[in-house]
Amino acid sequence: MRIATWNINSVTARLDRLLAWLETASPDVVALQELKCTSDAFPHLPIQALGYEAVAHGNGRWNGVALLSRVGLSDVTLDLDGQPPFDGVVEPRAVGATCGGVRLWSVYVPNGREPGHDHYAYKLDWFDALNRTVASELAAEPDTPLAVIGDFNVAPADSDVWDISLFADSTHVTPAERESLAALRQTGLTDVMPRALKGEPYTFWDYRNGAFHRGWGMRIDLVYANAAFSTRVSDAWIDREARKGKGASDHAPVVVDLTDPS
């Protein structure tokens, strides 16, 4: 079973790229983030033509998440338990579903903008809601494979940033954000990528200053999973090729292969 996550940075602007990638990479389940379209405007028909059913959760602004699956899509949950609003709006940043016997959450964690900003406090509150939701699901179904995948907008370690000295006063690497990730791990999840990762360590490169070609990246697109999921991981990689060329997203897909359950 092949599972992937990709911050697509506008599913309508990059639909042709997405469809081509689905055909070549042949994932069974894909989590998308930053749809930048409403749920009603999501391009279901061309995706269904490739054999995927989809659930999309978006409001047309700078957020939105989806799950695409060709191995079933059930028990759909929109938003987190007690998810906080920002400026009075509960943003569409999380969708969960069970696909092929695996419970998956596609998440787009708030950026935070800068330490001290209201959006930074919102980010930490949002993480609290994520951690509560995951803990609740793990307690209810401890033997079900579960993974939270998506754009976490946090680099777990200094080695996940091309030059940590340039981020001294920035979000994505602050102690409080990393503590939120640590709290997620304490629910019973682990970062599955380091033990299987091949090649390029980063998942995001800014469009500016030739960052991609210079290797100025960050690893912020993550796969956090419980033991029932992680013990089935046979391979994992970042599809750097999908970041190349005109009109690419500024993120690359992260792909994880699972063995069949024993």
DSSP string over 9-50: S-TTTTHHHHHHHHHHH--SEEEEE---SBTTTS-HHHHHTT
Please give the average per-residue pLDDT across 152-159, as a whole number.
95
Q: Of 199 and 245, which is predicted with more confidence?
A: 245
- Any idea which residue has 């998956």 for tokens? 104
> Does pLDDT of 196 surpass 60?
no
Q: What is the DSSP string of 156-211?
A: SSGGGBS-GGGGTTSTTS-HHHHHHHHHHHHTT-EE-STTTEES---SEE-SGGGH
Name the token pair of 143. 């033997």
Q: Which two tokens mark 73? A: 């899509």
Q: Any idea what the Cα angle at residue 117 is, between residues 211 and 179, rounded to 5°? A: 75
Q: Which domains does the chain have, with CATH numbers?
A: 2-258 (3.60.10.10)
CA distances to 116, 128, 129 from 81, in Å: 25, 10, 6
Alpha-carbon dihedral 131, 135, 141, 143, rounded to 10 degrees? 90
Percent above pLDDT 70 for the chain: 98
3-class DSSP state for residue 212?
Answer: helix
Amino acid occupying residue 121: A
6 has pLDDT over 80: yes
pLDDT tens digits along 9-56: 999 999 999 999 999 999 999 999 999 999 999 999 999 999 999 999
Query: Does the pLDDT value for residue 169 go beyond 90?
Result: no
pLDDT reported for residue 5: 98
Q: What is the mean pLDDT of residues 243-255?
A: 95
**Quick one: which of 43, 161, 30 has its CA closest to 104?**
30
Give the pLDDT confidence score for residue 198 in this predicted structure.
Answer: 58
The half-sphere exposure of 10 on its side-chain side, counting CA atoms within 13 A, is 8
Residue 195 pLDDT exceeds 60: no
Relative to beta strand 102-108, strand 146-151 is parallel
What number is the average pLDDT over the span 120-137? Answer: 98
Return the pLDDT at 193.
Answer: 84
d(CA 4, CA 52): 14
> What's the gap between Cα 206 and its chain centre?
17
- Is residue 105 within 8 Å of 94, Cβ to Cβ? yes
